[in-house]
Chains A and B, each alone.
Chain A
Amino acid sequence: MASLYIIIYLLMFLLPSLLILLRIDLDGIFRLLHLDFLLNSFIFTVSQSLWSSILSVIIGGAAGYILALSETKLSSILRGVGLASFMAPPIVVAYGFTLLYGEAGLITQFIPILSFLGTGFSGIVAAHVFYNSPLAMNLVFAGLSGIPRDEFDAMSIYGRNLRYLTRKIFIPYLLPSAFASFLLTFLYSFTSLAIPLVIGGKPSLWTIEAYIYWIMKYLLDTKLAIALTLVQLLIMALFAYLYLYFSKSLISPEISPYRIGFLRGWQRYISLSYLIILLLYLVMPFISILYSSFRNPYTNTFTLEGYMEVFGGRFSNILGTSHINILINTFYYAFMVTIISISLSIVLSYLNNMYLNLSALLPLAFSPVTLGLGMYLFYLNVPEFRWVAIVAAHVAASLPLVSRSIDIGFTRIPKELLEASEVFNVRGLYRLLKVILPLMKEPLMIAASLALVVSLGEFGATLLLHNPQTTTLSIAIYKLRAARRFMAASAEASILMAITMIILIYIARKSGRWI
């Protein structure tokens, strides 16, 4: 089984990635060093990532702190919406932000002062905060929910002084989670593509990731793109290592965390208001897309035009293929990604080899465009392999998440059952199929849902790899928006959003235990 895993892993990730390293050319590196935009984009990428991480930790961390300290029905709603924000397809989020806060946006036409949320540097940071503040919220909430009851009770003897307990108990438990979410947010923001391309627009607001894409696509300079990829890879590897190192000290959330119920009176009202504002911030981009899919901006009327245009094939010329083909592609890739990444993860967990487990986390250091570039070099010489390249990139992107989810499920199988199967001489594939997998139905479903969500929303690698015949829903939204077919773009975004939401609702109902 190990050899099977290694072969698929080599084809789906390692060989394409190694090919990037093998194609490094001194000429590319030399030319890169002479381009000013390397330094400029590095400064921009780091500064927006820092701002996004700091603000996400503050905004999301504060929400996690409030949720842990108060008993409110908002908790499950906010955590559910937070999961939707965190897992939402990047192109949907970027598009939602421009609809809401862009020029003459749904909100900015009434409150122009909020246009900073939809344009420029601040717009990019705002969209990254949208994505990542739920991550900080959940990690901080989990960190505080992990406080041992006896420790808390012992401290409480000295009085239920919030400031004292915050300093002595909460902060020590909260800090590792906050730091982990800071590092993870930094990683995600560092490799952001759809948001700087759509919200940033101009080159001074492009991340290194956007420049790699631009060099490959518009300068057709593979050597230069590879040299820049190397720079990004080194930085990513450092942060991925730091995250993995610090995430070891994270506290797993309790299945039913107790609520401390501390916030009373005015503190409670202010806290709840804060949570409601955050909830609105997280929900509004989704609502704006749905609203825009029914509203004709030119006639100011409500209509099904956008959906009819999409399903009627009106923009097949722009998309290069029919809408039904786009749906077939999107679902087929998602299906294959789910099958492959789950199979790999099961094999990994079953073998329980430290090195193989680490191999599944390695793609964390590879940005979507880097994965796309590797697949481009490895697969695209054969026209029939273009879709294989897209599936492989999606598998690599989903593997760290899926393998972690399956692994957690594996570790929670009662040891007695495994020992009992040993006693009855039930081994190998038979044991996996007859004993282990039936006990893992729920984590398997969660892992499958995660793989589906990652593949459905994947943007960076697909943007680099697709051609008209392999267009997916994410790419269709990007193209229709670029062609200013806003109703059709909103309709496509609503379809993608609806599919993703159904899967996420399932995850939200089962999560806590498995993610």
Chain B
Amino acid sequence: MNWKLRMAFIIIAIIIFTAGYAYYFSTTQRLESELVIYTYESLLKWGDDPEAVYNAVFKGFEEKYGVTVKVVEFPDARDTLLAVIEEINLYGEPKADIIIGLDNILVEEAKGRGILDRYIPPNIDVIPKDLRDALDPDGYSIPYDYGLIAFVFDRERIVLEDISLEDFEDPALASLLVAEDPSRSSTGISFLLMEIAFYEKILGTDWRDWWISVRDYINVQPSWGDAYNIFFTEEANRPIVVSYGTDPAYSFYFYNSTRYDAVVLSFEGKDYAWLQIEGISIVKDAPHRKAAEKFVEWFISEDVQQYMALNNWMYPANKNIELPSSYEYAIHPDEVIALNQYLSKQEIRDNLKDWLKEWINIMSG
């Protein structure tokens, strides 16, 4: 074959190949009529049959409303927020319609960035007003579950009673704790704010001192799942994990024992904890607004809320849902003083980024 012909053949082949990929790429990007939901990867995955629950929630919606749903899972709720921010920053429009999992801290970050739209579903009365106000009184996020941040421990390896954050300043105890990175995990950021509220507002001391005293001993993991993995791995010798006050209910349900028990902060005879409320939000300029509204309504209805307690292991936000008996072992938010009240939403919005930088400054040492 003539060399010029051969050369032309190669160039044409490359052009066709590239055009083919560009076409393939553009078609895989196009979402058409799909309702796109961003959430964290452990949503509703902790029950007896996660697949059946997933089908009941997402396929159930598809069947009822004739809308195709695409769920994209991220390691943590904060990753969903970051993905939407990036999409809007770069392209001026989001790909997602809905974010599930933004809590009472992340929702402030999201509102500050202007990426959410306000929406009050017609069945909003199923959610108690105080819960709605605690998450977001403006309606940019609707609560679907809630629970307390707590120290969860393995009774077969350690027993904790009446514990305070100051107790962890003892290296022996701090060496047994695994927590989550607040810059990458919503559990971690709740724990950080719990610590800030407790030290700054209750004790009246610098919140940074606690982290300085524990940084060499505490194990910090990128996500709640990673932290729990270390907690379960006995060889790692970390029998205390920052998790939720509902974990003992999980332990009782699956192991018929409260081997995995929980404690909140104890100080001068009172119990304190951070209340995490998770919400569902519609993204600003969502491509499928109508379907998104229907999904929010669906998600807080009894059809979905019935699965929260035994699959997401948090208190369902819908007040009509009866709690399973295992929840007798969980720590109910009514039993403690919520530290959330000591940090206003404005304070969180104004300081969150600086707190994260301060935290990383301390932990880098």
Contacts and interface: CB of A to CB of B under 8 A. Distances in A.
A433 B230 CA distance: 59
A218 B25 contact: no
Nearest to A44: B364
B236 A103 contact: yes
B319 to A, nearest CB: 30
Interface residues of A, number: 47
B360 interface: yes
Contacts of B73: 317-318, 320, 483
Given A317-B41, A336-B18, A339-B14, A325 B221 contact: no
Interface in B151-184: 181, 183-184
Nearest 3 pairs of A and B residues by beta carbon: A37-B364, A40-B364, A103-B236
Contacts of B90: 380-381, 383
Interface string A299-339: 00000000000000000011011000100100010011001
Contacts of A467: 83
B222 A201 contact: yes
A129 B231 CA distance: 30
Interface string A196-217: 0000011110100000001001
B320 interface: no
A482 B223 contact: yes
B6 to A, nearest CB: 8
21 contacts: A40-B361, A104-B234, A201-B221, A202-B220, A202-B363, A204-B215, A206-B364, A218-B184, A219-B353, A220-B85, A317-B41, A318-B41, A318-B73, A336-B18, A339-B14, A381-B91, A383-B90, A384-B29, A387-B21, A433-B3, A484-B229
A58 to B, nearest CB: 29
Among B28, B353, B363, B364: residue with most chain A CB under 10 A: B364
B233 interface: yes
Among A219, A325, A383: residue with most chain B CB under 10 A: A383
Contacts of A214: 183, 360
Contacts of A336: 18
B7 interface: yes
B22 interface: yes
Contacts of B85: 220
Contacts of B91: 381, 383
Interface string B1-45: 001001100000010011001101110110000000000010000
Interface in B226-251: 226, 229-230, 233-236
Interface string B265-303: 000000000000000000000000000000000000000
Contact of A383 (B29, B181, B219): B29
A178 to B, nearest CB: 32
What interface size band does chain B fall in? 35 or more
Contacts of A204: 215, 363-365
A433 B235 CA distance: 62
Contacts of A468: 72
Nearest to B30: A469
Interface string B323-365: 0000000000000000000000000000001001100111111
B365 A103 contact: no
Interface in A380-397: 380-381, 383-384, 387
Contacts of B362: 36
B82 A218 contact: yes
A35 B18 contact: no
A380 B88 CA distance: 12
Nearest to A332: B21
B3 to A, nearest CB: 5
Contact of B230 (A40, A103, A320, A384): A103
A259 B65 CA distance: 77
Interface string A420-454: 00000000001001100000000000000000000
A76 B222 CA distance: 41
Contacts of B229: 484
Interface in A213-234: 214, 217-220
Per DSSP, are chain B's interface residues mostly helix, strand or loop, or mixed?
helix
A41 B365 CA distance: 8
B56 to A, nearest CB: 16
A384 B229 CA distance: 38
Contacts of B121: none
Given A318-B73, A381-B91, A469-B29, 12 more contacts: A37-B361, A41-B364, A44-B364, A103-B233, A103-B235, A104-B233, A218-B183, A218-B184, A320-B72, A384-B26, A483-B73, A484-B226
Contacts of A353: none
B360 A203 contact: yes
A112 B225 CA distance: 24
B71 interface: yes
A99 to B, nearest CB: 13
A27 B219 CA distance: 33
B357 A219 contact: yes
A216 to B, nearest CB: 10
Nearest to B14: A339
Nearest to B76: A482
B60 interface: no
A484 B227 CA distance: 11
A267 interface: no
A380 B86 CA distance: 10
Contacts of B361: 35-37, 40
Contacts of A219: 183, 353, 356-357
Interface in B172-227: 181, 183-184, 215, 219-223, 225-226
A470 B28 CA distance: 10
Nearest to B230: A103
Nearest to B113: A220
Contacts of B83: 467
A112 B233 CA distance: 14
Contacts of B233: 103-104
A434 B356 contact: no
A430 B4 CA distance: 9
Nearest to B29: A469
Contacts of B72: 317, 320, 468
Contacts of A328: 21, 24
A72 interface: no
A479 interface: yes
B47 interface: no
B139 interface: no
Contacts of A293: none
A144 B353 CA distance: 55
Contacts of A434: 3
